[in-house]
Amino acid sequence: MTDILGSVEECVDRAIARVGKELVLMAPLGLGKPVQLVNAFYHRASADPDISLHIYTALCLETPPIGTGIEASLAGPIMERLFGDYEELAFLKPMRDGTLPANIQVSELYFKAGSMKNVPSAQRNYISSNYTHIARDMFDAGANVLVQLVAARETPEGLSVSLSCNPDTGAELMEMYQASGKSCITIGQVHGDLPYMENDAEIGVDGFDLLVNNPQYDKTLFAVPNAAIPLQDYATALHASSLVADGGTLQIGIGALGDAVAYSCILRQQHNADYRDALRAITHQHVPGADHSEPFDKGLYVSTEMFVNGMMHLMEQGVVKRKVYDNLVLQLGLNTGAIDAVVDEKLFGYCRAQGLIPRRLEQRNLDELHYWGILNAVTLVTPDTLSVAGREIANDTDAADTRAALLADVEGRQLRNGRILHGGFFLGPADFYRKLRELDAQGQEQICMTGVRRTNQLLLDYPLYCAQRQHARFINTGMMVTLTGAVASDALEDGTVISGVGGQYNFVAMAHDLPGARSVLCIRSTRGAGKQLQSNVVPFYGHITIPKHLRDVIVTEYGVADLRGQSDSEIIKRLINITDSRFQLELIEFAKTHGKLEQGYRIPEQARNNTPERLQQALAPLAKKGLLPAYPFGSDLTDQELALGASLRKIKALSEEPGHFISASFRALLHRSDEEAARPFLERIHLEHPETTKDFLIQQLLVMELQERGFLKVS
């Protein structure tokens, strides 16, 4: 039985009493961390050097730094509004400062991108593991304290618990301990605002040894604000979305590019003519398979490690709506068109022929058929008789009277317990959490938060998952691609970890194992700016995440390169065709020098103008119609804050180019502006009365920038 406590400190006492002072604590990634509980273990170990505490986790969530000066004036109120009283993980600051106590160690399996780039202890203790192997690896590491943030609600049987945002690895790890008999304590911390998810995430009243239920710990949930989408990501996403087949399966990741892909699918659905025009404008060559531009009639099913906000919008817009069923007979019947998702004579006949409806029904058959909605609450009276709506009939589904009576009770109803999304964990903005909290019964039925052992692989049930994941498109991002098609996504060649492997390798490998599936890795063609501009298509690289033998589809803002099954020479040509033109010639020369391209090869004429200027021109009609918004799924920032943020970022970029900064400053000083129109913007960041020459120049540049972008009008 679960003991319900009101104090995290008491949980620490119980844990030490159960497993001793050698504590190996496992906390889920992202939102699922019970911050107060983890902090209680940290503080106890900090105060008692006899305790050894090793924390294993991933994706630690930190509020962004607010900076100083003008930057802080803009960011401070935003941070307060967005993150409220969110409590930080206590180990993060000492880990960054290099002051963790000697008896405490922290190992992450995935970093927020770039967050631990210059943190030596984090780099040293990082563990690289495919996400499907994390439960195994933590079990082998001896994790003996499993903690998780959970949702709870009262039921007729008592308090019921849901793993909510993170059924990804926790349930699997609990099962491994139950089977092994090893000593372990499981502790859940209830949060009143965490969405209660049903289906696989719901673990009943006794899922944990201890449950902390104290509303005082209900601090603001960490919400990730929607990111602005730059033009190059929109171009990449338009290309990627043209690979998605109607009636297929989709997986996308978090961030601007994931949002851009989701929005591009919505654009394809809601503004199809404009979508097609934009796609034609940015496409300089036809790629077989990249020609899915029709609206989504059958719709998509989502099987994803991470359930992101963009997927919720895809559901709302009728793009994600294809249901799958955890029954191979039903799923194959739907795939082939032998049946529809409506209970009728055709479905009865099909299920009888396939054995899903046997001639003589037993209780287990009645339970299963009721679960799928094929039968109502039919009672087995005797082995030879059934009771249907108060009427007794023969237990013989081949008898016309029996079949008619069974069908009359349910005919015309939809099959039940179909899912449009299976996801391992979720993380997103505050309105995303609100929508999940407000799901009705149908919404709960259609969404199944589950383990990554299901979403990220095929091993649990290969025939069923193949039938469900038709025409799968696994769309993820990478940092760099080599000329032979290998991709670096998680780390630099000097060993510095940027993020982590996560599930990327799993999805790429799965794309090669699933009939009709493709892995799509999206890569921005360049990084940096000005003199620091570099190509992300590189001759070679000293670290790879996806080896070249698993190369499949690479997408940049300049197009699609289908690499599957191609020779090295052809792969190089296709990648150079979607490379920024400022780097094409040097890549060609490298390939020729090393014998990978014939000496006489020339870039096709249509691929020689891969420039940001051409993209901007090609997408201008779509932008002019307002169909390429910076924040397609909304923003938690006000219009004023968005305007100030964009302008200040541009000024900061200017300051890194002294020549451009000086010329822009002279232009700003001579610029005529409306001081009254500018006043609210300047007051927002306390710049109405600059005290230094630097602040005065920034003020003048800001006013000019705001006016040129149409936020101010000259009187």
The answer to whether the beta carbons of residues 554 and 563 sit under 8 Å apart is yes
Do 3-217 and 232-318+434-612 come out as alike in CATH topology? yes
> How many residues in total does the chain contain?
715
Residue 576 pLDDT exceeds 60:
yes
What per-residue confidence (pLDDT) applies to 285? 83
Among residues 708, 707, 704, which one has the least CA distance to residue 666?
A: 704
What per-residue confidence (pLDDT) applies to 422? 98
Among residues 358, 194, 274, which one has the least CA distance to residue 619?
A: 274
Q: What is the CATH number of domain 3-217?
A: 3.40.1080.10
Q: How confident is the model at residue 656 (pLDDT cuts 50, 70, 90)?
A: confident
Among residues 232, 262, 271, 265, which one has the least CA distance to residue 616?
A: 232
Q: Is 415 helix (H, G, I), strand (E, B) or coil?
A: coil
Maximum CA pair distance of the chain? 96
The answer to whether the beta carbons of residues 304 and 450 sit under 8 Å apart is no
What per-residue confidence (pLDDT) applies to 713? 65
Q: How is the beta sheet containing 249-252 ordered, strand by strand? A: 447-449, 421-426, 301-307, 249-252, 472-477, 518-522, 553-556, 559-562
Secondary structure element (H or E) that encloses residue 437, with its range: helix 430-437
The answer to whether the beta carbons of residues 395 and 366 sit under 8 Å apart is no
Residue 343 pLDDT exceeds 80:
yes
Task: Enumerate the domain spans of the chain.
Answer: 3-217, 232-318+434-612, 328-408, 639-708
Residue 140 pLDDT exceeds 80:
yes
**Cβ count within 10 A of residue 213:** 17
373: left (phi over 0), alpha (psi -120 to 50) or beta: left
Least trusted range by pLDDT, from 61-75, 356-370, 398-412, 607-621: 61-75
Report which residue type is found at 651.
I
Distance, in Å, from the CA atom of 559 to the CA atom of 519, rounded to the nearest integer, reads 15
Report which residue type is found at 282.
I
**Residues with Cβ < 8 Å from 688, sequence gap 6 or more?**
679, 682
What per-residue confidence (pLDDT) applies to 279? 96
Q: How much is the average pLDDT of 447-475?
A: 97
What per-residue confidence (pLDDT) applies to 134? 94
- The tokens describing 625, both together, are 């119609």
Q: What is the pLDDT of residues 111-129, one digit of tens each?
A: 999 999 999 999 999 999 9
Task: Output 9-17 pairs: Cβ under 8 A, ≥24 positions apart.
Answer: 9/40, 9/44, 11/37, 11/40, 11/187, 11/210, 11/212, 12/40, 12/41, 12/44, 14/185, 14/209, 14/210, 15/41, 15/145, 15/185, 15/187, 16/44, 16/51
**Cβ count within 10 A of residue 175:** 12
- The tokens describing 124, both together, are 């040293």
User: DSSP code of 112?
Assistant: S
Residue 659 pLDDT exceeds 80:
no
What per-residue confidence (pLDDT) applies to 714? 55
Q: Is 710 helix (H, G, I), strand (E, B) or coil?
A: coil
Q: Could you tell me the pTM of the whole model?
A: 0.93
Report CA 326 to chain centroid distance, whole Å.
Answer: 23
What per-residue confidence (pLDDT) applies to 621? 96
Tokens 């993170």, residue located: 166
Q: What are phi and psi of 68, to 5 degrees?
A: -135, 170
- The tokens describing 293, both together, are 């531009």
Residue 708 pLDDT exceeds 90:
no
User: DSSP code of 624?
Assistant: H
Residue 569 pLDDT exceeds 90:
yes
Q: What are phi and psi of 245, to 5 degrees?
A: -85, 135
First-to-last alpha carbon distance for the chain, in angstroms, is 73
CATH superfamily of 232-318+434-612: Acetyl-CoA hydrolase/transferase C-terminal domain (3.40.1080.20)
Average pLDDT score over the chain? 94
Burial of 713 (0-12, 13-18, 19+ CB in 10 A): exposed
Distance, in Å, from the CA atom of 715 to the CA atom of 713, rounded to the nearest integer, reads 6
Of all residues in the chain, the percent with pLDDT exceeding 70 is: 100
Among residues 595, 570, 471, 578, which one has the least CA distance to residue 521?
A: 578
What per-residue confidence (pLDDT) applies to 90? 97
Residue 669 pLDDT exceeds 90:
no
**Cβ count within 10 A of residue 525:** 23
**Residues with Cβ < 8 Å from 181, sequence gap 6 or more?**
none
Q: How confident is the model at residue 156 (pLDDT cuts 50, 70, 90)?
A: confident
What per-residue confidence (pLDDT) applies to 195? 98
